Amino acid sequence: MSLATALLTPADCALLLIDQQAGLAFGVGSIDRQVLLNNTVALARTAAVFGLPVVASTSASKVYSGPLMPAIHAAIPDVQPIERRNMNVWEDASAQAAVVATGRKRLLISGLLSEACVTFCALSALADGYDVLVVADACGGLTATSHELALRRLEAAGVKLTSWIQVLLELQRDWTRHETYDGARAIVESYGGGYGIGLAYARDMIHPV
Domains defined for the chain, CATH in brackets:
13-169 (3.40.50.850)
Q: What pLDDT score does 9 carry? A: 97
| Eight-class DSSP state of 76 | S
Q: What is the number of alpha carbons within 13 Å of residue 169 lying toward its C-beta?
A: 10
Looking at the chain, the number of H-run helices and the number of E-run strands are 9, 6
Q: What pLDDT score does 15 carry? A: 98
Alpha-carbon torsion (140, 146, 148, 153), positive or negative? negative
Cβ atoms 124, 132 nearer than 8 A: no
Bridge partners of 134, per DSSP, are 109, 161
Mean pLDDT of all residues in the chain? 95
Counting as low any pLDDT under 50, the low residues of the chain are none
**E strand spans, 2-53:** 13-18
Q: What pLDDT score does 1 carry? A: 62
Cβ atoms 58, 19 nearer than 8 A: yes
User: pLDDT digits over 134-179, tens only?
Assistant: 999 999 999 999 999 999 999 999 999 999 999 999 999 999 999 9
Nearest-Å Rg of the Cα atoms of the chain is 17
Q: What pLDDT score does 114 carry? A: 98
Kindly name the residue from 13, 117, 121, 139 that is annotated as catalytic: 117
Separation CA 203–CA 209 (nearest Å): 14
What's the pTM? 0.94
117 is catalytic: yes
Q: What pLDDT score does 39 carry? A: 98
